[in-house]
A and B are shown apart, each in its own frame.
Chain A
Amino acid sequence: DTAVSQTPKYLVTQMGNDKSIKCEQNLGHDTMYWYKQDSKKFLKIMFSYNNKELIINETVPNRFSPKSPDKAHLNLHINSLELGDSAVYFCASSQGGFSYNSPLHFGNGTRLTVT
């Protein structure tokens, strides 16, 4: 069983569209994250939820809205997609409020391409 799974793996869409990426973890972790990896491979945190509560929001445009229906799921909805949103988006989870309590377990990533 995949520990952290995200869907879809690839997402190609046009500018201006709205899209969602789903993430689920079956590790029993209480904290989930979204990271963005740009074309230069740089990884940067976007959001973090602990027990369904938002605890990190790192200067991300408000076109990005995370939603956590329960502690095993953290979805990412993006409105009015722009070319600059093209990237690989990684979901991750850990036990504890910060990853130093336990290492992050990452999903396999969603490659978003905006044309």
Chain B
Amino acid sequence: AQKVTQAQTEISVVEKEDVTLDCVYETRDTTYYLFWYKQPPSGELVFLIRRNSFDEQNEISGRYSWNFQKSTSSFNFTITASQVVDSAVYFCALETSGSRLTFGEGTQLTVNP
């Protein structure tokens, strides 16, 4: 069975702080994909990144960066110099060839001015 754990239910930071959202996954499959989605207060779900299990290179996109470590089954997401517009619920998700996309329970990030 697949499982995604986002242990941080809520995080609150002050603007310009760096913040890391944790994601730990469980799967027995060797081929899988990991995702991050953002759900701002307006409610839509926005795709941020997809990473396959064979590519452990970290990725940076502007103020966003992702750290994938198979050794600890983690796929953490860091926002550098956070902004109020980053306030949202962030979901980590896992999919394997044998199962559908499984979401974590989400982390509510609040960035205060």
The residues of A with any CB-CB pair to B shorter than 8 Å are: 40-45, 48, 56, 58, 88, 90, 92, 98-100, 103-109, 111
B53's nearest neighbour on chain A, judged by CB, is A100
Verify B35–A106 contact, CB threshold 8 A. Answer: no
Q: Name the B residues within 8 Å of A44 (CB-CB).
A: 103
Interface residues of B in 14-68 (CB under 8 A from A): 32-33, 35, 37, 39, 42-47, 50, 52
Would you mind naming 10 contact pairs between A and B with Cβ atoms under 8 Å apart? A43-B45, A43-B91, A43-B103, A45-B101, A58-B100, A98-B97, A98-B100, A100-B97, A104-B47, A106-B37
Closest-CB distance, A38 to chain B (whole angstroms): 10
A88's nearest neighbour on chain B, judged by CB, is B43
Closest-CB distance, A15 to chain B (whole angstroms): 24
On whether A45 and B100 interact (CB within 8 A), knowing A90-B45, A106-B45, the answer reads: yes
The residues of B with any CB-CB pair to A shorter than 8 Å are: 32-33, 35, 37, 39, 42-47, 50, 52, 89, 91, 95-97, 100-101, 103, 105-106, 108
Verify B43–A98 contact, CB threshold 8 A. Answer: no
Q: Name the B residues within 8 Å of A106 (CB-CB).
A: 37, 44-47
Q: Name the A residues within 8 Å of B97 (CB-CB).
A: 98, 100
Q: How far is the CA of A45 from the CA of B99 in the complex (A)?
A: 11
Q: How far is the CA of A9 from the CA of B96 in the complex (A)?
A: 31
Verify A109–B89 contact, CB threshold 8 A. Answer: no
On whether A108 and B95 interact (CB within 8 A), knowing A42-B105, A45-B101, A99-B101, the answer reads: no
